[in-house]
């Protein structure tokens, strides 16, 4: 924040005029090394007020170890008055023992303390008292001091006018309280600036520090200088909507320490900036960044070695902001943002080495918050407690752009009812609440170090989501041209009752053991090629929309409560691949539901693969719901226990085993070849698709044969007699084979 100190042209002109006038005046020695020039009135014996430059230029020089004592000091009393005082050399002193000290009342007043000189003050000192007044004090050089004559004093830099204090090159100041721009800001008035510069330069303030309380105030601690306020609060831009306050701590070894609370912004705008290796430290206070109405409170920590540390908490209120960039660091017990009406605030941790370190938790938002965004980007990190730290997100946004958030143990948690999005690492457990949303965009990878528990919505669109432990989905999870990888001791994705898993786009990859529970749903979108790199267990509703296909590297198991729904089109007629391709074992139960997405009517003999497996098929679907067929046709569900399940369109009775369109003696021969064996298919005489060729299949053949050869039905043997003869023949044949082997 750059603060203009009024009409510099007027101030410079008056100082030049004072110099010209003083050069024409005779020097009047007083007590040896105390000299005066111009409009100067000093008390006799140190009792009374000193008036320097009341209506015209006046100067007092104190050197050579001389000392001057006054009750009150007033400089630049009127608009045209210019008062100058210089205190130079060790032992040289000016002590003001009263409480009405005014430097630049309505005119200009300046005091220079150099080369070991000392300025002593008591009570209250104001620089720039009235709106036209300008007051300045410079404390320069090792041993040069400004402190209480008997005890510390209260200093106002910029009363209703303009005030400046410069402490540099080892100068030292002690105050009881310090107010910079304390009065109501008016046109051209109530402006103050305090600058500390250089190694060895210090300021000790015992009580309250106010920067821009009602006007424009600025405090700079630069190039190794030190500022300490031991107790009482620090406020920056505090008490007026017109107030603006700025605190800058910059440069290696520059430091501001405080022991109480620090407020940045409130009714006015406040800015705290730490840069270039500077430090702001608190032993027990809290930092509260506040924004009301149009006011703005902001904290920025920038650059390697720059740090803001407090053993207390940090509060961000309203549209306030915290930015940590380019290797800066902020450390606190915990951080909480609270919502107010109006625009929301932000937390940004950006750049390699940038760190927000919290001993316990980070809470973003409240029950009715203003929207707040927290961003960790380009190597920036948010570090929670040493173990089990918590990030609580309410209706706000956590955005990762190459950054990370976590704790040392990865046992902490991110509890979100807001938006989590971007590309980065969350070294925590992620609990996504009912109002929570996780978004991963194309080209992004969001890595969660712990487990994921989702009751809200997870959308991965063209990106990748990683989990270091199991994923439980009680809400909605959508993967569109996306990838999900689950690691840890239990690399599982479980879709719980009420949960939904939707896979869409052209491809989806799931590296997890996937389980759909009773009451859950998993949908593979039309045209999708899904790759399950582990197993799939379905106890819920699994739906493959038309032209969707799934490759399962592990096993496939469907429980009794499971439903597999497959949408077919004419293009699925004897396709190059089945909708389900399984590398492991297929263990079947539950319902198989098949429908045609178009108006296609299958014809006799057409075959539609359901699944294939490189291992074996165990069990059967306990129920089937298949599309209606034209009269005279029926479905046969064929189970090849070695590798496949297919749907075949057959005649009404299903006994045309050789598929020549007739139920004839050739089909009876096919039945005979498979009779008594398990694991048979339709071509081996299994008419009802139960995998076994037995008498029931013969009865099916007989009904089909009779329906097509009614005219010659008398020639057909009675079923019981023929069946007994065939069974006897098969048994006799088996006995003869055994007898031959024994011989």
Binned average pLDDT, 10 residues per bin, the chain of 743 residues: 49 53 44 84 85 97 94 95 97 89 97 97 93 96 90 89 97 95 62 97 94 91 96 82 90 94 87 98 87 82 97 88 97 82 79 94 67 90 81 89 86 91 95 97 96 98 97 98 96 98 97 98 97 98 97 98 93 76 98 92 90 95 95 89 89 70 76 79 73 79 62 44 47 39 39
Q: Is residue 730 part of a domain?
A: yes
In sequence order, which residues have a C-beta less than 8 Å from that of residue 729 and are 6 or more positions away?
none
Give 370's DSSP letter: P
DSSP letters spanning 51-74: EESSSSEEEEEE-TT-EEEESEEE
Q: Is residue 726 part of a domain?
A: yes
Q: Is residue 569 part of a domain?
A: no
Q: Is residue 600 part of a domain?
A: no
Q: Is residue 545 part of a domain?
A: no
The neighbour count for residue 31, using CB atoms within 10 Å, is: 11
Contact call for residues 39 and 81 (beta carbons, < 8 A): yes
Percent helix, strand, coil in the chain, to 5, is 10, 45, 40
Tell me what pLDDT residue 702 has: 74
Q: Is residue 291 part of a domain?
A: no
Contact call for residues 452 and 475 (beta carbons, < 8 A): no
Residue 324: CA atoms inside 13 Å, Cβ hemisphere, count?
Answer: 30
**What's the token pair of residue 685?**
């005489």
In sequence order, which residues have a C-beta less than 8 Å from that of residue 428 and are 6 or more positions away?
384, 389, 391, 405, 406, 407, 410, 412, 413, 414, 448, 449, 450
Q: How many domains does the chain have?
A: 1
| Host domain of residue 677 | 665-743
Q: Is residue 189 part of a domain?
A: no
SS (H, E, C) 286-353: CEEECCCCCCCEEEEEECCCCEEEECCCEEEECCCEEEEECCCEEEECCEEEECCCCCCCEEEEECCC
Tell me what pLDDT residue 713 has: 42
Tell me what pLDDT residue 586 has: 97
Q: Is residue 526 part of a domain?
A: no
Which one, of 345, 364, 443, lies nearest residue 405 by Cα? 364
The neighbour count for residue 407, using CB atoms within 10 Å, is: 24
Contact call for residues 169 and 140 (beta carbons, < 8 A): yes
Residue in the block written with tokens 């306020």: 229
- The Cα–Cα gap between 185 and 243 comes to 7
Tell me what pLDDT residue 27 has: 45
Cα Rg, the chain, nearest whole Å: 44
């Amino acid at each position: 924040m750059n603060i203009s100190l009024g009409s510099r042209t007027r101030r410079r002109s008056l100082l030049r005029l004072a110099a010209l006038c003083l050069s024409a005046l005779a020097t009047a020695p007083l007590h040896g090394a105390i000299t005066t020039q111009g409009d100067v009135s000093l008390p006799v014996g140190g009792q009374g007020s000193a008036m320097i430059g009341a209506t015209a230029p006046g100067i007092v020089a104190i050197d050579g170890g001389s000392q001057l004592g006054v009750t009150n000091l007033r400089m630049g009393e009127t608009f045209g008055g210019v008062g100058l005082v210089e205190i130079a050399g060790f032992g040289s002193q000016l002590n003001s023992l009263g409480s009405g000290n005014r430097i630049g009342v309505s005119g200009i007043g300046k005091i220079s303390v150099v080369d070991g000189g000392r300025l002593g003050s008591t009570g209250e000192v104001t620089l720039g008292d009235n709106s036209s007044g300008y007051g300045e004090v410079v404390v320069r050089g090792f041993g040069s001091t400004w402190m209480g004559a008997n005890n510390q004093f209260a200093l106002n830099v910029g009363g209703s006018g303009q005030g400046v204090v410069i402490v540099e090159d080892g100068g030292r100041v002690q105050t009881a309280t310090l107010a910079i721009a304390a009065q109501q800001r008016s046109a051209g008035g109530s402006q103050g600036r305090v600058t500390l510069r250089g190694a060895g330069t210090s300021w000790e303030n015992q009580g309250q520090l106010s920067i821009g309380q009602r006007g424009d105030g600025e405090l700079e601690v630069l190039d190794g200088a030190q500022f300490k306020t031991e107790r009482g609060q620090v406020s920056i831009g505090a008490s007026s909507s017109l107030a603006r306050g700025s605190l800058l701590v910059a440069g290696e070894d520059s430091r501001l320490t405080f022991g109480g609370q620090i407020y940045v912004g409130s009714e006015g705008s406040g800015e705290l900036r730490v840069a270039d290796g500077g430090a702001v430290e608190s032993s027990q206070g809290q930092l509260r960044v506040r924004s009301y109405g149009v006011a703005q409170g902001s904290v920025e920590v920038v650059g390697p070695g720059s740090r803001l540390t407090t053993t207390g908490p940090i509060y961000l209120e309203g549209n306030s902001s915290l930015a940590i960039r380019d290797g800066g660091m902020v450390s606190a017990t915990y951080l909480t943002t609270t919502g107010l009406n109006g625009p929301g605030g932000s937390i940004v941790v950006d750049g390699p080495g940038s760190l927000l370190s919290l001993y316990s938790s980070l809470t973003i938002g409240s029950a009715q918050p203003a929207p707040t965004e927290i961003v960790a980007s380009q190597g920036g990190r948010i570090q929670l407690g040493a173990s089990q730290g918590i990030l609580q997100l309410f209706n706000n946004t956590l955005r990762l752009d190459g950054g990370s958030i976590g704790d040392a143990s990865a046992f902490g948690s991110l509890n979100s009812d807001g938006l989590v999005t971007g590309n980065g690492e969350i070294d925590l457990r992620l609990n996504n609440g009912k109002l929570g949303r996780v978004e991963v965009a194309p080209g992004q990878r969001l890595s969660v170090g712990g487990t994921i528990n989702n009751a809200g919505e997870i959308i991965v669109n063209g990106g990748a989501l990683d989990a270091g432990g199991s994923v439980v989905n009680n809400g909605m999870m959508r993967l569109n041209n996306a990838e999900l990888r689950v690691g840890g001791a239990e690399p599982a994705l479980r879709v719980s009752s009420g949960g939904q898993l939707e896979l869409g786009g052209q491809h989806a990859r799931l590296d997890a053991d996937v389980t759909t529970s009773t009451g859950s749903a998993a949908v593979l979108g039309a045209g999708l090629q899904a790759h399950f790199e582990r197993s799939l267990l379905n106890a819920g509703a699994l739906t493959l929309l038309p032209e969707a296909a799934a490759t399962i590297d592990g096993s496939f198991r469907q429980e009794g409560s499971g439903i597999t729904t497959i949408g077919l089109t004419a293009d699925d007629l004897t396709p190059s691949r089945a909708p389900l391709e399984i590398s492991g074992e297929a263990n079947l139960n539950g319902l198989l539901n098949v429908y045609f997405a178009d108006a296609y009517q299958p014809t006799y003999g057409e075959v539609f693969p359901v699944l294939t497996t490189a291992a074996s098929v165990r069990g059967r679907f306990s129920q089937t719901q298949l599309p209606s067929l034209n009269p005279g046709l029926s479905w046969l569900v064929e189970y090849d226990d070695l590798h496949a399940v297919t749907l075949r369109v057959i005649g009404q009775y299903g006994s045309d085993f050789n598929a020549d369109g007739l139920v004839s003696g050739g089909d009876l021969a096919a039945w005979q070849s498979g009779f008594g064996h398990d694991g048979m298919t339709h071509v081996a005489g299994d008419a009802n698709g139960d995998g076994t060729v037995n008498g029931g299949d013969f009865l099916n053949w007989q009904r089909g044969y009779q329906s097509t050869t009614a005219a010659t039905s008398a020639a057909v043997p009675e079923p019981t007699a023929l069946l007994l003869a065939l069974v006897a023949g098969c048994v006799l044949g088996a006995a003869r084979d055994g007898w031959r082997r024994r011989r």
